[in-house]
């Protein structure tokens, strides 16, 4: 999920700059920012993978290992659905100023979360979330899940958090790497077109285009032909190099 560190309402002078400093070449800047982004992802990966592996270790030794596997696998559709919903309606929400705690929170904290990533797609502080971002949710939901047998809800959460970790790395890779693998070529084009002004109101899926089909937010056919099949005479996915 494209979370970023929740910024202070008024940026302090200690905040890292959003823009690439003019004296740093783009290639150097990109490598620096990739390192920052990776360092934010390592603790996320270790923490959630430890939870997932240890939970599944015990779940697979329960009386119902196949149910445990099925529950864990359900985490994949559940996570991709959540990823789409959060990206489309929370991160792309414009909450506007207002009174009341929830409205102010939404405007001051949620509004800037994703737009800085769209405007500065190679800034390593705005690619992914940090470990602390989702811990309150994790420590609320996970203990409750253990009220159910380990091969059901806890195994499901193991699948969800592992998919979350995977999605963070896929998003990171879209921005910083050029894999030749067909899936990565597809998802990178898909996501970069979403970053362009022409595509920012569609293509909300971060790891796949399935939920965009269901919710009718696919890119137009001529764009898809251009992006994925290389047909000409259509809008081209813009380069994000800056
Ligand atoms: Zn977006
Ligand atoms: Zn992105």
Is the residue at 189 inside a domain? no
235 has a pLDDT exceeding 60: no
Q: Are 5 and 133 in contact (CB under 8 A)?
A: yes
Kindly report which listed range (26-30, 46-50, 91-95, 166-170) carries the lowest average pLDDT score.
91-95
Q: Which two tokens stand for residue 202?
A: 């569609």
The pLDDT value given to residue 11: 44
Average pLDDT of the residues in 181-200 = 94
105 or 61, higher pLDDT: 61
59 alpha carbon to ligand 2 midpoint, in Å?
35
121 touches 195 (CB < 8 A): yes
Ligand 1: centre distance to CA 69 (Å): 32
Report which bound ligand comes closest to the CA of 117: 2
Q: How far is ligand 2, taken at its centre, from the CA of residue 175, in Å?
A: 7
The answer to the question of residue 196 being in a domain is: no
Q: Within a domain: residue 106?
A: yes
130 within domain boundaries: yes
The residue among 190, 232, 227, 230 whose CA lies nearest residue 207 is 190
Q: Which domain holds residue 66?
A: 26-178
- Ligand that lies nearest to the alpha carbon of residue 89, given by its number in the listed order: 1
Closest CA to 156 of 59, 46, 62: 59
Kindly give the distance from the C-alpha atom of residue 58 to the centroid of ligand 1, in angstroms, as a whole number: 37
Backbone angles phi, psi at 195, to 5 degrees: -70, -15
Question: Which ligand has the shortest distance to the CA of 92?
Answer: 1
Q: Which pLDDT does position 230 carry in this prediction?
A: 75
86 Cα: distance to centroid of ligand 1 (angstroms):
10
pLDDT at 3 over 60: no
Ligand 1 centre from 70 Cα, in Å? 31
Mean of all residue pLDDT scores within the chain: 87
Structural domain includes residue 87: yes
CA of 107 to the centre of ligand 1 (A): 17
Range name among 4-8, 39-43, 63-67, 168-172 with the lowest pLDDT average: 4-8
- Tell me the CA–centroid distance for residue 128 and ligand 1, in Å: 12
Radius of gyration (C-alpha) of the chain in whole angstroms: 19
Q: Which tokens is 125 given?
A: 């502080």
Find the 211 Cα to ligand 2 centroid distance in Å.
17
Length in residues, the chain: 242
Its sign, for the CA torsion 139, 140, 145, 146, is positive
Give the rounded percent of residues in the chain with a pLDDT score beyond 70: 84
Neighbours of 105 (CB within 10 A): 12
Cβ 133 vs Cβ 51: under 8 Å: no
227 CA from centroid of ligand 2 (Å): 16
Examine the pLDDT at 7 and tell me if it is beyond 70: no
Is there a domain that residue 35 lies in?
yes
Report how far ligand 1's centroid is from the alpha carbon of 117 (Å).
8
Centroid of ligand 2 to alpha carbon of 113 (angstroms): 12
| Closest ligand, as measured to the CA of 91 | 1
Return the pLDDT at 239. Answer: 59
Residue 238 has pLDDT above 90, yes or no: no
Is 94 within a domain?
Answer: yes
- pLDDT > 90: what percent of the chain? 65
> Is 47 a residue whose pLDDT tops 90?
yes
7-16, 71-80, 121-130, 207-216: the lowest-pLDDT one: 7-16
In a domain, 116, yes or no: yes
Count of structural domains, the chain:
1
**pLDDT band at residue 6 under the 50/70/90 scheme:** very low
Q: What is the C-alpha to C-alpha distance for residues 47 and 129, in angstroms, rounded to an integer?
A: 13
Nearest Cα residue to 162 out of 45, 21, 15: 45
């Amino acid at each position: 999920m494209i979370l970023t560190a929740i910024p202070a309402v008024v940026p302090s002078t200690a905040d890292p700059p959003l823009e690439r400093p003019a004296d740093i070449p783009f290639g150097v800047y990109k490598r620096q920012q990739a390192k920052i982004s990776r360092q934010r992802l390592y603790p996320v990966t270790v923490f959630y993978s430890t939870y997932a592996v240890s939970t599944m270790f015990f779940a697979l030794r329960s009386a119902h290992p196949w149910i445990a596997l099925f529950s864990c696998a359900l985490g994949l559709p559940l996570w991709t659905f959540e990823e789409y919903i959060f990206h489309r309606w929370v991160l792309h929400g414009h909450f506007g100023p207002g009174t009341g705690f929830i409205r102010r929170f939404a405007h001051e904290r949620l509004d800037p979360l994703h737009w800085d990533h769209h405007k500065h797609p190679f800034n390593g502080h705005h690619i992914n979330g940090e470990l602390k971002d989702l811990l309150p949710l994790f420590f609320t939901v996970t203990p409750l899940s253990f009220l159910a047998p380990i091969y059901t809800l806890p195994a499901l959460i193991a699948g969800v958090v592992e998919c979350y970790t995977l999605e963070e790395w896929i998003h990171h890779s879209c921005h910083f790497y050029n894999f030749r693998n067909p899936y990565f070529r597809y998802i990178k084009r898909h996501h970069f077109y979403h970053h362009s002004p022409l595509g920012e109101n569609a293509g909300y899926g971060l790891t796949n285009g399935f939920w965009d089909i269901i919710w009718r937010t696919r890119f137009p056919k001529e764009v898809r032909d251009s992006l994925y099949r290389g047909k000409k005479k259509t809008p081209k996915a813009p380069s994000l190099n800056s």
